[in-house]
Chains A and B, each alone.
Chain A
Amino acid sequence: MTGGPARAASRRRWRGALRAAAPALAGLVLGVAALGPALGPGFVLRYDMVVAPDPPLAWPAAGGFPRAVPSDLIFAAAARVLPAELVQKAILLGIHVLAAAGAAALVPGGRLVPRLAAAVLYAWNAYLAQRLLLGQWALLLGYAGLPWAVRAAARGGPGRLALALLPAAAGGFQAMLVSAPAVLAVAATRPGRSWRGLAGAGGVVAAYCLPWAVPALLSGASTDPAGVDAFAARADGPYGTAGSLLALGGIWNAEAEVPGQGEWLPATARLALCLAAIAVYLHAGRGRGAARPDWWAGLLAAAAAGLAVALTGAYLPGVLRALIAWWPGFGPLRDGQAYLAPLALLVAAGFGLLAARVTAPSAGRRPGPVWPVAAVVLLAPVLVLPGAAWGAFGRLDAVAYPAEWRRVQALVNGDPAPGALVSLPWSAHRAFPWNGGRVTLDPAIKMFARRVLWNDALTVGLPDGGVLRVAGEDPKARAVGALLAGDGPLTAALRARGVRYVLLAGPDRNTFQSRLPGGTVVHAGPELTVIRL
């Protein structure tokens, strides 16, 4: 007699748990769909996303701004527990899961469809896809944790905020820079705010910034104002730069565009969807009190500020150039599109509110079914950006390092003698045939447990076929670059600068090998040569 009610209660519990987990599950499904082949065996190497097997567990050496602090160290620590390639896949999938679950948690009311709508949009949009194609996984950790950080800032309490900001803290530099404005704005505008609460939030943010802020201030690194012209937002569709940014795209790099995102019909639908979500969000803020979420004003302020930074780089680059020339600390503002993360969250929250309206039970005499409307709403973010599927149609893939790279890594890391390694050819980026010709940051930078000197100057191709050069930030690398640019033997000069190894990769190895007389070739393989000085 008691079996029936017990079974019903158990069913209710399971249903409740499934409803609670649905946004995270949606994030998982979207993550699998977005990453596709990148989840296969091997490493995903594309632009800034360079991870190596057995990464060294060491605080990154000084030189340039510490962009990979503490993300590389945390990655290396995790790679002591799991294989590095699995850690990378867990992070990439985890970004989608955390982002989806967080966006859903922000939507007021307990209805499933609005929560799922916000989750789907926040885990599948142009910002996330473009940053993924640029390989900026550390920034995306901040993006994924942003909804949780906003929620914690709205509730108050430094402990809660410290927990919610952990993903951004792990991501470091850029992740904290896109999270901090939203957190501080929400803490400053939430109902029941106090100076003490704001100071607590500021303290948590400041503490999490210390690992990279202190080395950055002590690095002596400089920032080239030309970076504003290289990294300002640009149009990636038919609606100009402003239209691209409002649709959450507009990344500076044409190679990081989502395939097919310029097609006019999906581009139009994407912009319309984002504008509708923004309109609903703004409308929701008209009423005060319980109807307006506590984070509403703060998120709006952070989204507007982020959009303003991106627009300034695109339309008033002189302002940013002057700021960077005045103080290199303004350098991070050059990639203004990165600061659209709060706008992406605002659009996701607005889309959730929009979904709540269009799927509300109707009061008519013959109400139609809601599920077709819900299905279209939930599929819409994917249908307006279909090119993000399956690793953006193969642009993200997993590959294995050739055995030669592992041998060289073991050889250099097995040498206890101190001394830096110079990575040649003197350029930051490589495109190996074994990586499908995808352009990636030089893997040598992440492989060795010693200082790696590499050319951190960046070159960006221009539409007219020219190249824009952004000067490097590391003074020691600049000195080595000046040496290499000259003629004659290099061995003595490199030794004097504390260099022990020279790693030569690619087809023009002979150019440099002849300039290193007296060096000992300790490895010569099909792709790499290592010379000990």
Chain B
Amino acid sequence: MLRVFAALIAGAVLAVGASVAVVNVASPTPKAPDRPLYNYGSR
């Protein structure tokens, strides 16, 4: 039973972390500016 408890605790921690990350990610992002030239990403 010990490993079941350990798994449930680990699962709960992971679920909390994932939920916080999803809530933060789901917030609206700013609109990209309209300009002629764009970088191939940024570092």
Interfacial residues, chain A to chain B (CB-CB below 8 A) = 47, 134, 230, 234, 252-256, 259-260, 263, 265-266, 269, 358, 362, 366, 368-369, 372-373, 375-377, 379-380, 382-384, 386-387, 389, 393, 425, 427-431, 433, 436-439, 458-463, 467-468, 506-508
B24 and A260 form a contact (CB under 8 A): yes
Among residues of A, the one whose C-beta sits closest to the C-beta of B12 is: A376
Partner of B14 from the list A358, A380, A437, A461 (CB cut-off 8 Å) is A380
Once bound together, how far apart are the Cα atoms of A358 and B8, in whole Å?
13
Does A425 contact B39, Cβ atoms closer than 8 Å? no
The 5 tightest CB contacts between A and B, nearest first, are A461-B42, A437-B32, A265-B17, A253-B41, A260-B21
User: What is the chain B residue whose CB lies nearest that of A441?
Assistant: B40
Contact status A459-B39, CB under 8 Å: yes
**Interchain CA distance A254-B40 in the complex, whole Å:** 10
Contact of B39 among A252, A362, A376, A461 (CB under 8 A): A461
Contact A462 B25 (CB under 8 A): no
> Does A433 lie within 8 Å of B39, measured CB to CB?
no
> Does A358 contact B17, Cβ atoms closer than 8 Å?
no
Cβ-defined contact, B36 with A263, below 8 A: no
In the complex, are the beta carbons of B21 and A461 less than 8 A apart? no
Which residues does chain A contribute within 8 Å of B22, judged by CB atoms? Answer: 260, 386-387, 389
- Write the nearest CB–CB distance from B27 to chain A, whole angstroms: 10
User: In the complex, are the beta carbons of A393 and B25 less than 8 A apart?
Assistant: yes
Does the CB pair B7–A439 fall under 8 Å?
Answer: no
Beyond A425-B37, A431-B35: 17 further Cβ-contacts under 8 Å?
Answer: A47-B41, A253-B40, A253-B43, A254-B42, A380-B14, A383-B11, A383-B14, A383-B15, A387-B25, A425-B36, A427-B36, A429-B37, A429-B38, A436-B32, A437-B32, A439-B39, A460-B39
Could you say which residues of chain B place their CB within 8 Å of the CB of A389?
22
Contacts A358-B3, A372-B7, A379-B11; is A269 near B37 (CB within 8 Å)? no
Collect the chain B residues with CB atoms within 8 Å of residue A430's CB: 38
Question: A269 touching B14 by the CB < 8 A rule?
Answer: yes
In the complex, A468→B7 CA distance in Å?
Answer: 47
Which B residues lie within 8 Å of A260 (CB)? 21-22, 24-25
Closest chain-A Cβ to B7's Cβ sits at a distance in Å of 4
Specify which of A366, A387, A427, A508 is in contact with B21 (CB 8 Å cutoff): A387
Docked CA distance A439–B17 (Å) = 30
Chain B interface residues toward A at CB < 8 A: 1-4, 7-8, 10-11, 13-18, 20-22, 24-26, 31-32, 34-43
A250 smallest CB distance to B (angstroms): 12
Selected contact of A384 from candidates B14, B31, B42, CB within 8 Å: B14
Q: Do A462 and B18 have beta carbons less than 8 Å apart?
A: no
Could you tell me if B39 and A429 are in contact, using CB atoms closer than 8 angstroms?
yes
Q: How far is the CB of A234 from chain B (nearest CB, A)?
A: 6
Contact B43 A266 (CB under 8 A): no
CB atoms of A255 and B41 under 8 A apart: yes
> A443 vs B41: C-alpha distance in the bound complex, in angstroms?
17
* Cross-chain contact of B17 among A47, A255, A266 (Cβ < 8 A): A266
17 A-B contacts (beta carbon < 8 Å): A253-B40, A254-B41, A263-B20, A263-B24, A368-B1, A368-B2, A368-B4, A369-B4, A376-B11, A380-B10, A383-B14, A386-B21, A427-B38, A431-B34, A460-B39, A462-B43, A468-B43
A97 to B40, CA, bound (A): 29
Complex Cα distance, B15 from A508, in Å, reads 49
A463 to B42, CA, bound (A): 8
Complex CA–CA separation, A375 to B3 (angstroms): 13
Query: A376, B17: Cβ atoms under 8 Å?
Result: no
Instruction: Give Cα A47–Cα B20 distance, bound, in whole angstroms.
Output: 28
The answer to whether residues A507 and B40 also contact, given A358-B3, A373-B7, A387-B22 and a CB cut-off of 8 A, is: no
Known: A373-B7, A387-B25, A427-B37. A461 touches B18 (CB 8 A): no
A27 and B25 alpha carbons, distance in the complex (Å): 24
In the complex, chain B residues whose CB is within 8 Å of the CB of A507: 34-36
- Interface pair A376/B41, CB less than 8 Å apart: no
| A259 / chain B contacts, CB cutoff of 8 Å | 25
Contact of B42 among A134, A253, A383, A506 (CB under 8 A): A253
Give the interface centre of A376, A393, A460 by most chain B CB atoms within 10 Å. A376
| Residue on B nearest A257 in the bound complex, by CB | B41
The answer for the CA separation of A259 and B26 in the assembled complex, in Å, is 9
Contact B41 A461 (CB under 8 A): yes
Q: Would you call A508 and B36 a contact (CB within 8 A)?
A: yes
Contact A375/B17 with A386-B22, A459-B39, A507-B36 known, Cβ cut-off 8 Å: no
The complex places the Cα of A253 from the Cα of B22 at a distance, in Å, of 21
Q: A373-B3, A393-B26 are in contact. Are A431 and B38 (CB under 8 A)?
A: yes
Residues of A with C-beta under 8 A to B11: 372, 375-376, 379-380, 383
A263 CA to B24 CA, complexed, in Å: 9
Q: A35: shortest Cβ distance to chain B, in Å?
A: 17
Instruction: Give the residue of B16, B26, B43 whose beta carbon is less than 8 angstroms from that of A254.
Output: B43
Q: Once the chains bind, are B10 and A376 in contact (CB under 8 Å)?
A: yes
In Å, the complex CA distance between A413 and B37 comes to 26
B7 touches A376 (CB 8 A): yes
CB-CB nearest in chain B for A506: B36
Q: Are B38 and A366 in contact (CB under 8 A)?
A: no
> Most chain-A Cβ atoms within 10 A of its Cβ — which of B13, B22, B38, B43?
B43
